[in-house]
Amino acid sequence: MTQTPQHKYGGTFFYILGGIVVLVIVLIFLYVLRKRLKWSPQNMTKQQEIGKHTESADIMQMIFSSNQQSGSKELCSGNFRTINCFDYQTLKNATMNFHADNFLGSGGFGPVYKGKLADGRVVAVKKLSLNKSQQGEKEFLVEVRTITSIQHKNLVRLLGCCVDGPQRILVYEYMKNRSLDLFIHGAWDCIDGTILSFDCFMNAENSDHFLNWKTRFQIILGVARGLQYLHEDSHQRIVHRDIKASNILLDEKFQPRIGDFGLARFFPEDQAYLSTQFAGTLGYTAPEYAIRGELSEKADIYSFGVVLLEIICCRKNTDHTLPSDMQYLPEYAWKLYEKANILDIVDPKLQEHGLVEKDVMRAIHPDAHLRPPMSEIVALLTFKIEMVTTPMRPAFLYRVAKKDDDKQHLGAIYQGLTSPI
């Protein structure tokens, strides 16, 4: 039986239609397979890393945008000052390619260089060490978030930043007299960075860098006012967490400015303290924070007390080259207080050049155990309130010798510790 032309063409049509359906199914299968291969765990990790870097850059671009949008305000919880975005080449030129002659110092974030911009402004350029990766990136974002949301004459001023590719750089106003630790722990020429002496500037006879009591008291009071602003007067409670001599910068008139906010924490208004992992510098750290991770404004107040003693004595808070009973400065100060010889702790050169005894006694007096708010400390220092309490015996470090790889090291344990909260 022969097929009619209609049956013949009908069969061909069904064959073609079936082929098209099979082809579509194959294409769909190949597409799905390709998507699965593209999003394998390895590729997924790479995509996440790229996304993370892009997200971080986007966040910082939102922070530094001159036209602030609501999203950035919600993200960073505050009203921010407008700061400049510098490209990497500009800062590279300003610092002579980050030349060693322009090196000012180094901290947890990275090295700091002196730079001169095209408009003649002298700046301090703080460069993130790229090998510090995530922790450095976190500190960078925290510092920017914190310092752009606050403004006070005793806090360092951020001028701008660089987020050019992997580069993370902060640009600050330049402090002519650098940092307080150079006057307490060692001496560098404030102009060209050459070493003059490792003797303390404050102790140097016939030195233009000797700081009299008026200047030292000015530094103490300025730091106290800066902390009062962070703890009590800012629109958000902020705990610095790393108050120490190297983070106190000094301008041409030796007015102090608190710097380095990489470890700062915004503090909830309804909480007495936070339980958090320790971060900071041993020797300046409050015992309840170092041991139990109890963080509050009192941690900064403790650190302030240690810095205050360093300024008055012109020595490090811990010095193992001294006799055992003098090595830890707060402990030594308390022993002298118990013997009614507290003025023996004062820098001898300062006594020779004259000091106001009542001011020194007032500065040393605030209770190391109770640690009153910074507003009360400022009021006490400025004679707005009178000293009415007798200092209580604080918890001190008692050093014990311990062996480590056949070397003797001084360990430390806290005894009789009570919470100041």
Q: Which residues are catalytic, by number?
A: 242
Sequence-ordered alpha helix ranges (H) in 196-296: 213-228, 287-292
Question: Quick check: 158 and 146 in contact, CB under 8 A?
Answer: no
Sequence-ordered alpha helix ranges (H) in 170-262: 181-184, 213-228
Rounded Cα–Cα distance for residues 83 and 81 (Å): 6
Burial 273-305 (b: 16+ CB within 10 A, else e): beeeeebbbebbbbbbbbeeebbbbbbbbbbbb
Rounded Cα–Cα distance for residues 356 and 359 (Å): 5
Question: Quick check: 150 and 137 in contact, CB under 8 A?
Answer: no
Between helix 297-313 and helix 374-381 the angle, nearest 10°, is 30
Rounded Cα–Cα distance for residues 201 and 350 (Å): 12
Rounded Cα–Cα distance for residues 75 and 67 (Å): 15
Number of other residues whose CB lies within 10 A of the CB of residue 397: 20
Amino acid at site 228: Q
Question: Quick check: 278 and 290 in contact, CB under 8 A?
Answer: yes
Rounded Cα–Cα distance for residues 114 and 116 (Å): 7
Question: Quick check: 144 and 72 in contact, CB under 8 A?
Answer: no
